[in-house]
Amino acid sequence: QSVLTQPPSASGTPGQRVTISCSGSSSNIGSNLVYWYQQLPGTAPKLLIYRNNQRPSGVPDRFSGSKSGTSASLAISGLRSEDEAAYYCASWDDSLRGVGFGGGTKLTVL
């Protein structure tokens, strides 16, 4: 059972906009920052969004993050085949005193 809740799957066609949700609680998303990771098959996770909506250098502006209350979302616009990957949200959890991850959302580009 993951600390944060994500839909297990999402899909879209090339060029579409897709959003992935992440639901938490007052002990994590409600009071802490949200991070998003992209994991391509067979590779380590890579930071995609930090501090709710900031993009690291090199991440295209097609990726954006937002947060409201105890939920967050990742939006991918202009979907491309290379975006097919698993996406994970993460946030510090004050109750755990550790990092809570979502269960991951596998994005399929149709």
Partner 1 sequence: EVQLVESGGGLVQPGGSLRLSCAASDFTFSDYAMQWVRQAPGKGLEHISTISSNGVGTYYADSVKGRFTISRDNSKNTLYLQMGSLRADDMAVYYCATLGVATGLGDFDYWGRGTLVTVSS
**Interface residues toward partner 1, by CB under 8 A:** 2, 33, 35, 37, 43-47, 50-51, 54, 56-57, 88, 90-92, 96-104
The CB-of-13 to partner 1 minimum distance in angstroms stands at 26
Segments of the chain assigned E as strands: 9-12, 18-23, 34-39, 46-49, 63-68, 71-76, 85-93, 98-101, 105-109
The CB-of-15 to partner 1 minimum distance in angstroms stands at 28
Report the candidate in 13, 22, 15, 38 with the shortest Cα–Cα distance to residue 108: 13
Nearer to partner 1 (CB atom), residue 51 or residue 80 = 51
Q: Are 36 and 29 in contact (CB under 8 A)?
A: no
The CB-of-72 to partner 1 minimum distance in angstroms stands at 12
Nearer to partner 1 (CB atom), residue 16 or residue 108 = 108
Q: Is 62 exposed, middle or buried (0-12, 13-18, 19+ CB in 10 A)?
A: middle
Nearer to partner 1 (CB atom), residue 1 or residue 13 = 1
The CB-of-6 to partner 1 minimum distance in angstroms stands at 9
Nearer to partner 1 (CB atom), residue 8 or residue 13 = 8
Other residues' Cβ atoms within 10 Å of the Cβ of residue 47: 15
